Amino acid sequence: MVSVAESALSREHKLLNSEKHTIPISRSVSLDVYSSTKPHNLKIATLQKGLIYVSNGMEKVGEGAGFGFPVLVCPKETYFSGSATVSLSESSKSIVRKEFVMDRTARNKVGNMRLENQRTRALIRYLCNLYQENSNFRFPFLKLTEFAVSVGLEATFKKIVPVGRVFVTYEILGNIVDVKVDLSQIGTENRKRIFVLNEQSASFFRKYHDSKGTALFDGQIGAWDNVEAEWACFTDAQGQVGFRLWQAKDAVFRRGRETMRDCLDWAGLDYEVNPDSEKFEYRIELLGGKSSW
């Protein structure tokens, strides 16, 4: 007779070797997690993703990085994850553990020509920082990006020597996801800035509102703006399904939404974490959906 412990270990091992896991939340909402880089959408096709929002059987992540995706800005490079391992255990709640290997960095190319020159990369970083910090620059920057895409400029993610690993645990009970990020395997010398992204599709999540009464729709939302409210959420255009996040200790809370055909499709609530933090925790509430299971 198989013991309870052996059964649990067998269950976790089975899921560890499966590419895709689905966690049902309600009759119409679930979450997907992949050990591969799927889904392969737009420019971040080769990167890992966090938890992916599923509505009525359709993934609604677009070009978003999913819930709980780490980004590490080091003194010389910004690191993303292109490799990961996943395990899932289930008892009174579902616990997903994903180990993100920080082994990709962004590069740009036109056709077969890679823009590896340090001055070019420094200019691109400068423009990106200007875009994030100056709202008046965003519209012309997006137009410039649209033109660049039309002439063949594209972002790629090059595999490099890993700078470390980030362990993210998602504890899912009902419609609540508690996210725990372990940064202890990242050396302090490499912690210039740390981001944890919570992004899904801008084409689906089109409405924003928060506890201060701010209500925005589509293009009104903008990108990379600080959230001062206690909580904020995104929903679909009808306000029927969505997700809510709260302010978190030792982090800057931001909202953003960008959409551009064949290039951008994300909406989300992101954290910039204190780089001295070893651990970071926050909560996601999944909103709406039909009656629970």
Name residue, tokens 């990379």: 224
Phi and psi (nearest 5°) for 137? -90, -10
Q: Residue 41: what pLDDT? A: 87
Amino acid found at 102: M
**Mean of the pLDDT values across residues 272-287?**
96
Confidence of residue 78 (pLDDT cuts 50, 70, 90): confident
Q: Residue 43: what pLDDT? A: 82
| CATH number for region 4-288 | 2.70.98
Of residues 284 and 146, the one with the higher pLDDT is 284
Q: What is the full DSSP assignment across 84-123?
A: EEEEEEESSSEEEEEEEEEEEEEEEEETTEE---HHHHHH
Domain boundaries, the chain: 4-288
**Mean of the pLDDT values across residues 255-281?**
91
Name residue, tokens 């600080």: 226
Enclosing H/E stretch for 208: strand 205-210
Dist CA 220 CA 136 (whole Å):
13
Evaluate if residue 83 carries a pLDDT over 60.
yes
Q: Residue 156: what pLDDT? A: 78
Number of helices (H), then strands (E), belonging to the chain: the values are 3, 20
Confidence of residue 34 (pLDDT cuts 50, 70, 90): very high
Query: Integer distance in angstroms from the first to the last C-alpha of the chain?
Result: 31
**Mean of the pLDDT values across residues 98-112?**
77
- Please give the mean pLDDT across all residues of the chain: 82
Confidence of residue 260 (pLDDT cuts 50, 70, 90): confident
| C-alpha 184: how far from chain center | 20
Evaluate if residue 113 carries a pLDDT over 50.
no
> Burial, 287: exposed, middle or buried (Cβ in 10 Å; 0-12, 13-18, 19+)?
middle
Asked if 247 and 253 touch (Cβ cutoff 8 Å), the reply is: yes
Phi and psi (nearest 5°) for 112? -95, 5
Q: Residue 148: what pLDDT? A: 43
Name residue, tokens 């340090």: 118
How far are the Cα atoms of 70, 98, 114, 209 from residue 266, in angstroms, in the given order? 16, 22, 26, 16
Asked if 164 and 158 touch (Cβ cutoff 8 Å), the reply is: no
Dist CA 121 CA 244 (whole Å):
35
pLDDT in tens, 126-165: 445 544 555 554 444 444 444 344 434 456 788 999 999 9
Amino acid found at 198: N
Both tokens of residue 185? Answer: 């395997």
Q: Residue 133: what pLDDT? A: 57
Which region among 9-23, 115-129, 150-164 has the lowest average model confidence (pLDDT)?
115-129
pLDDT in tens, 191-222: 999 999 999 999 999 999 999 999 999 989 98
Tell if the pTM clears 0.85, that is, is over it: no
Dist CA 265 CA 262 (whole Å):
8
Reference 52, options 4, 98, 112; nearest CA is: 98
